[in-house]
């Protein structure tokens, strides 16, 4: 995978929101600490491209224990954010009642540490959509610098029944 950005981030306005957190998680089943996306800022269905926003906060559950005194966002949470973005994008390109679950990762590279507070932009580009799998290339950026890149392989799963505690989602 090339380290060239999929889109010009200077053209992204973080105040122009296509889908807010509430709209994202009406579609995705994640709840509580695993609601990783804060906004979708751009969707280009024709190009299979999307840009999302993740605010990395100092009060998150992992901050206290993931390197006390110098919290570093766990790479797996960056990848989880990218996987959720891939799930959202795949439903935009090929509407479905299923959500895209992790099926695999390839070509993962972490380029910089992410420390709170930070605003991370997730840029995704669909490589392939099939009935049994979707592949997206993902890039994460903080302060205009690429912090990770990965290929996300997702497999569609049937939606689960809503939990009675879903109303407690933040």
Question: Which residues are marked as active site?
Answer: 66
DSSP for 108-162, written as a single string? EEE-S---SSEEEEEEEEEEEEETTEEEEEEEEEETTEEEEEEEEEEEEEPPPPP
Closest CA to 127 of 97, 109, 107, 99: 107
What 3-state DSSP class applies to 66? coil
β partners of residue 156? 100
């Amino acid at each position: 995978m090339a380290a060239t950005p999929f889109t010009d981030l200077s053209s992204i306005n973080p105040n122009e929101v296509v889908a807010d957190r509430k709209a994202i998680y009406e579609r995705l089943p994640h709840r509580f600490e695993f609601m990783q996306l804060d906004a979708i800022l751009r969707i280009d269905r024709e190009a299979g491209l999307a840009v999302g926003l993740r605010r990395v906060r100092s009060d998150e559950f992992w901050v206290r224990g993931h390197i006390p005194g110098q919290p570093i966002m766990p790479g797996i949470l960056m990848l989880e954010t990218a996987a959720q973005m891939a799930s959202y994008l795949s439903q935009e390109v090929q509407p479905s009642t299923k959500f895209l679950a992790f099926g695999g990762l390839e070509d993962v590279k972490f380029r910089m540490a992410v420390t709170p507070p930070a605003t991370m932009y997730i840029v995704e580009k669909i490589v392939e959509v099939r009935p049994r799998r979707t592949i997206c290339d993902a890039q994460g950026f903080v302060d205009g610098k690429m912090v990770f890149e990965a290929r996300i392989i997702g497999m569609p799963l049937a939606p689960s029944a809503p939990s009675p505690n879903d109303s407690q989602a933040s």
